[in-house]
Structure 1
């Protein structure tokens, strides 16, 4: 089965990152959590993932996606989460927060962020939070 990372959405809801795709919780039972692709409604995507209730094992994965995954997108989500966490929990300057969160980012993600001006928007986000 695939490896995955658990993260959080901007509204602090659980987010599962797997194979460059992001999933939100669709429903839960006593022994399983059912995840759906985060843009399932807008893209009409049928991709789903099931994990056990402890989120340690993917028990089922449907690959009925009508689009490609994007590893850079998942990496940017983790980057944004780190920035939110450091902004709330540490008393650091904007530049220090960005520098600390940039560690371990792949070159392709950094280039993507520079190309699309993400760092500019992140610094605006940080100033508004601080």
Structure 2
């Protein structure tokens, strides 16, 4: 049985994760949403010709949680990151960028969010 997880991309677009493959919305109609593999333009085949990567998928979910929590709470940066790190595997944690890059991303999110709210 496959599980579906919804997250967001760096540009805050919907991201669907299923069986360690990531999909973005291709187009939507009134009653349907069409999803495409995020690697659709990198390869010239109709089906998946690349393996799913569970570690990359876990990192994408982690980054989505950080973005969501940073935008929807007023917690300190360290608390946001600590909360999101709780269930991260060792393999995924080893591939994460350094702490400073997360601080910079959260700062940009908070500044852009405050500009949007104040307008």
Give the TM interval when normalised to the shorter protein.
Answer: 0.7 to 0.9
Unaligned runs of 5+ in 2: 111-119
2:107 matched residue in structure 1: 127
Distance across 1 between alignment mates of 2:107 and 2:27: 36
TM-score (norm 1): 0.72
**Secondary structure at the counterpart of residue 6 of structure 1:** strand
Does structure 2 retain, via aligned residues, the 8 Å contact 1:26–1:36? yes
Q: How does 1:79-94 map to 2 (within 5 A)?
A: 79-94=62-77
2:57 matched residue in structure 1: 74
Distance across 2 between alignment mates of 1:20 and 1:102: 19
Count of aligned positions:
110
Distance across 2 between alignment mates of 1:94 and 1:22: 27
TM-score (norm 2): 0.78
CA deviations on 1:41-94 (whole Å, 9 max, x unpaired) are 123353xxxxxxxxxxxxxxxxx2121111111111111111111211211211
Change (3 A) 1:30 1:85: closer
CA deviations on 1:21-48 (whole Å, 9 max, x unpaired) are 10012233455432110121123353xx
2:44 aligned with 1:44: yes
Distance across 1 between alignment mates of 2:26 and 2:37: 9
Unaligned runs of 5+ in 1: 47-63
**Secondary structure at the counterpart of residue 22 of structure 1:** strand
1:112 matched residue in structure 2: 95
CA deviations on 1:69-125 (whole Å, 9 max, x unpaired) are 111111111111111112112112111111011011112111221xxx353321221
What RMSD in Å do the two structures reach over aligned CA positions? 2.0
**Secondary structure at the counterpart of residue 85 of structure 1:** helix
Distance across 2 between alignment mates of 1:83 and 1:2: 25
Alpha-carbon shift at residue 11 of structure 1 (Å): 2.3
